[in-house]
Chains A and B, each alone.
Chain A
Amino acid sequence: DAKTTQPPSMDCAEGRAANLPCNHSTISGNEYVYWYRQIHSQGPQYIIHGLKNNETNEMASLIITEDRKSSTLILPHATLRDTAVYYCIVCGSSNTGKLIFGQGTTLQVKP
């Protein structure tokens, strides 16, 4: 599975959009980009995933560059409850294999 690189931390003002970047320059054609988050020491929570098209659900939007070497997770209106560690993970199309977590980005949403 391809390695990902994320900034260790970011701040965002409450109510503003949070844009979390991820680099995955070695991603292969059949690998998906998944985003999870972990609030405090709770279990990781699935957010969104995509292959090459941009995706949106009730939690977030995922923008994947045309060359697929990077992506951005967008939380459109961040709240204090969005403070968490966000993980960008690349894995195969079936996703039945293990998830490899990096250090992620700690997002601090400030009032």
Chain B
Amino acid sequence: GGIITQTPKFLIGQEGQKLTLKCQQNFNHDTMYWYRQDSGKGLRLIYYSITENDLQKGDLSEGYDASREKKSSFSLTVTSAQKNEMAVFLCASSFGTNTGQLYFGEGSKLTVL
């Protein structure tokens, strides 16, 4: 089996700060995703990448940047943290086939003071 590792698990930032979350997978999956999880709103796609150096915007990409420099890693940057923001960011990966499942990391919880 494989694993998806997200770092850091908890991130505290200041308003206006640029903050970066990292994700590593050892499944050898082609496609990787970043989702934002808010209570009552489900999982909303921020960015995804279908291969190394590819980036595609999801529905919630405004205010975020992403980078896929290696097949195994996918990072997400909050370009300017919003005051009192609190959310969980989930990284996931899949083979990219029609019936394939998503494998998720444990999440990174962001708190902005």
| Chain B associates with chain A | no
Residues of A within 8 A of B (CB): none
